[in-house]
């Protein structure tokens, strides 16, 4: 409908489907296995968890694509795995799964023969594409697995570089251009060069995909990087960025109060309202090369 004129036409929509993330212990500890790849690249030859203990860690709503990265990034960001834990990642082809669910189920195989004993995993059984895992660990618990970033270290970013990031991110959003319904997370250098971008119906999923990509290509920690997310910066996004060692996080909208608390607690630079050649800096302004 436009004014008083109504017409029927085709509209492309962003896909949203559930993804079940399973964690599996390896039957043969220390055996050589293929290194996992991104969902749209060369896939692992593993097909699930035959013979090994396994459990469902999360069911999240996401946009299909880069599913292996999403699973790896989610598990790493939550402190469930380390880079050395990964043996393989694959879509699950267990016979008990209906055909339509097999590409909505990912099994992450660990090198060790035992699953981690983490009672906190129980809170992950269902997440949404909108808000991610609600009720994440508090700042005190986060200190147990993440160290604050050293003050005054990492990148130095010029305001002129920051001004150009939103347009560069939007230009790289191929699916958003067709649907207008996806968030994006982009990883940039301090000079403003785009390193990688991921899209998803959920902001936190897009960040998980980026972190998973960095994990699976052995690029962690991302100490010289700038992260830009569409929408707002939440506590969860800051937590994921911290786990990847990203010192500067920017968003085109407002941060939440807890996101600011986390940034200040861990020495991260948090930029908000980055648009129309203006922005606010909420923490660690020394990484912004202002006059």
Residue 291: pLDDT band (50, 70, 90) is: confident
3-class SS of residue 279:
strand
Share of the chain above pLDDT 70, in %: 78
* pLDDT at 256 (0 to 100): 94
- 166 shares its domain with 63: no
- 187 shares its domain with 98: no
Contacts of the segment 258-263: beta carbons below 8 A, 24+ positions apart = 258/234, 259/233, 259/234, 259/235, 261/139, 261/235, 262/139, 262/142, 262/235, 262/238, 263/238
Whether residue 68 is annotated as binding a ligand: the answer is no
What average pLDDT does range 196-202 have in this prediction?
A: 93
60-74, 141-155, 170-184, 234-248: segment of lowest average pLDDT: 170-184
The whole-angstrom separation of Cα 31 and Cα 80 is 21
Answer whether 237's CB lies under 8 Å from 203's CB. yes
Domain range for 81 is 17-128
3-class SS of residue 126:
coil
* pLDDT at 151 (0 to 100): 74
Residue at 68 is within a domain:
yes
Q: Is the pLDDT of residue 172 over 50?
A: yes
* pLDDT at 162 (0 to 100): 97
- Tokens at residue 176, please? 């958003």
- For every residue of 171-222, DSSP letters joined together read HT-HHHHHHS--EEEEEE-TT--EEEEEEESSHHHHHHHHHHHHHHTT----
* pLDDT at 40 (0 to 100): 38
What average pLDDT does range 37-47 have in this prediction?
A: 37
Residue at 154 is within a domain:
no
Residue 255 — φ and ψ, nearest 5°? Answer: -85, 160
The whole-angstrom separation of Cα 171 and Cα 190 is 19
* pLDDT at 30 (0 to 100): 44
The whole-angstrom separation of Cα 77 and Cα 241 is 8
Q: Is the pLDDT of residue 193 over 70?
A: yes
Whether residue 276 is annotated as binding a ligand: the answer is yes
- 174 shares its domain with 273: yes
* pLDDT at 50 (0 to 100): 43
- 267 shares its domain with 212: yes
The whole-angstrom separation of Cα 113 and Cα 118 is 15
Residue at 5 is within a domain:
no
Residue at 140 is within a domain:
no
The whole-angstrom separation of Cα 40 and Cα 191 is 28
So which residues are the catalytic ones?
131
220-229: pLDDT as tens digits: 999 999 999 9
* pLDDT at 41 (0 to 100): 38
Residue at 210 is within a domain:
yes
- For every residue of 36-102, DSSP letters joined together read P--TTSSPPS--S-TTS-EEEEEEEEE-SSSHHHHHHHHHHHTTS--GGGEEEEEE---TTS-GGGG
- 113 shares its domain with 164: no
Q: Of the segments 12-26, 86-100, 152-166, 206-220, which one has the largest average pLDDT value?
A: 206-220
Residue at 59 is within a domain:
yes
- 121 shares its domain with 27: yes
The whole-angstrom separation of Cα 81 and Cα 33 is 17
- 115 shares its domain with 164: no
* pLDDT at 258 (0 to 100): 93
- Let me know if 30 is exposed, middle or buried by CB neighbors in 10 A (0-12, 13-18, 19+): exposed
* pLDDT at 113 (0 to 100): 85
- Let me know if 264 is exposed, middle or buried by CB neighbors in 10 A (0-12, 13-18, 19+): middle
What average pLDDT does range 192-213 have in this prediction?
A: 95
Residue at 198 is within a domain:
yes
DSSP state of 248: E
Which H helix or E strand runs over 275?
strand 269-275
pTM (2 decimals)?
Answer: 0.82
CATH number for 178: 3.40.140.10
Whether residue 278 is annotated as binding a ligand: the answer is yes
Total structural domains in the chain? 2
Distances (CA, A) of 257 to 140, 145, 162, 265, 270: 16, 22, 22, 12, 12
Of 105, 128, 151, the position where a domain reaches its end is: 128
- 173 shares its domain with 259: yes
Query: At a CB cut-off of 8 Å and minimum separation 6, what does 170 contact?
Result: 176, 184
Of 128, 144, 175, the position where a domain reaches its end is: 128
- 30 shares its domain with 117: yes
Whether residue 273 is annotated as binding a ligand: the answer is yes
Whether residue 274 is annotated as binding a ligand: the answer is yes
| Mean pLDDT of the chain, nearest integer | 82
Residue at 85 is within a domain:
yes
The whole-angstrom separation of Cα 25 and Cα 94 is 16
Higher pLDDT, 10 or 170: 170
CA angle 5, 11, 16 (to 5 degrees): 140
Whether residue 4 is annotated as binding a ligand: the answer is no
Of 77, 106, 128, the position where a domain reaches its end is: 128
């Amino acid at each position: 409908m436009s004014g008083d004129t109504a017409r029927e036409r085709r509209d492309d929509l962003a896909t949203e489907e559930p993804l079940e993330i399973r964690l599996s212990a390896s039957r043969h500890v220390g055996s050589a296995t293929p290194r996992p790849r991104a969902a749209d690249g060369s896939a692992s030859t593993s097909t699930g968890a035959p013979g090994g203990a396994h459990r469902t860690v999360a069911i999240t709503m996401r946009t299909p694509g880069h599913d292996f990265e999403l699973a790896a990034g989610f598990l790493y960001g939550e402190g469930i795995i380390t880079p050395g834990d990964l043996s393989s990642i694959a879509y699950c082809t267990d016979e008990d799964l209906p055909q339509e669910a097999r590409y909505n189920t990912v099994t992450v195989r660990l090198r060790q023969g035992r699953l981690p004993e983490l009672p906190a995993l129980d809170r992950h059984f269902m997440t949404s594409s909108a808000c991610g895992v609600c009720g994440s660990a508090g700042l005190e618990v986060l200190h147990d697995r993440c160290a604050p970033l050293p003050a005054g270290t990492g990148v130095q970013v010029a305001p002129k570089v920051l001004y150009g990031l939103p347009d560069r991110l939007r230009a790289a959003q191929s699916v958003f251009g067709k649907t207008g319904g996806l968030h994006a997370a982009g990883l940039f250098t301090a000079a403003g060069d785009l390193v990688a971008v991921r899209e998803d119906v959920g902001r936190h999923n897009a960040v998980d995909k980026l972190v998973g990509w960095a994990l699976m290509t052995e690029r962690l920690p991302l100490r010289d990087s700038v992260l830009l997310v569409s929408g707002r910066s939440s506590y969860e996004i800051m937590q994921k960025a911290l786990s990847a060692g990203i010192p500067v996080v920017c968003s085109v909208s407002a941060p939440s109060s807890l996101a600011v608390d986390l940034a200040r607690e861990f020495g991260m630079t948090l930029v908000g309202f980055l648009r129309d050649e203006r922005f606010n800096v909420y923490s660690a302004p020394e990484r912004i090369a202002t006059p």
